[in-house]
Amino acid sequence: MLVEVKVKVARVIDGKTRKRTETYLTDKEVFAQAEMEVMTCLVQEQEAGVVEDFEIQSLKISPIKEVVTQFEGTSTFIATLKDIWIDDDGNEKTLKYKVLLWANDLTQANARALQLSHQGYDMQVESIKQVDYEYLIPTNNGNN
């Protein structure tokens, strides 16, 4: 399960404080653990002088089902893959599957999404959207 944590952050950028809302994605099983992981990250940035202040706004279960952990690219994208099939009763069924991936631009993101869509399933790329997500890489430190 992936958890999205929205945070209002006052960041120091080019010597000026800028407030913005940031979205963090974590793989913690409990909301409290996800919140603590994001807070720990931001407190470290506060101590480094990069963040002045922050406030957790919301936590929710993410619709993203998979994170492609090949961090090749400068931007994050969410690709929606879809599989359509006919069930035993003759009814058309659709499964949508959201994936977070990295790429340098939309063209590269589309190529990666197409590659993903053909791994194991005959899926189609329904949409790709550039997002500003921070993915907190899981660590195996016994606190997961």
Q: What is the pLDDT of residues 6-24, one digit of tens each?
A: 999 999 988 899 999 999 9
Does residue 48 fall inside a structural domain?
A: yes
Same domain? For 96 and 47 the reply is: no
Q: CA 20, CA 3: separation in Å to the nearest integer?
A: 20
Domain enclosing residue 94, as ranges:
64-131
pLDDT bracket for residue 130 (50, 70, 90): very high
Same domain? For 79 and 96 the reply is: yes
Same domain? For 78 and 123 the reply is: yes
Does residue 42 fall inside a structural domain?
A: yes
What local confidence, expressed as pLDDT, does residue 140 receive? Answer: 42
What local confidence, expressed as pLDDT, does residue 4 receive? Answer: 95
Q: CA 139, CA 122: separation in Å to the nearest integer?
A: 32
| Structure-block tokens of residue 2 | 């992936």
Does residue 144 fall inside a structural domain?
A: no
Domain count, the chain: 2
What local confidence, expressed as pLDDT, does residue 120 receive? Answer: 62
123, 124, 128, 134 alpha-carbon torsion, rounded to 10°: 0
Same domain? For 103 and 55 the reply is: no
pTM score > 0.85 for this model? no
Does residue 70 fall inside a structural domain?
A: yes
Same domain? For 12 and 58 the reply is: yes
Q: CA 35, CA 54: separation in Å to the nearest integer?
A: 12
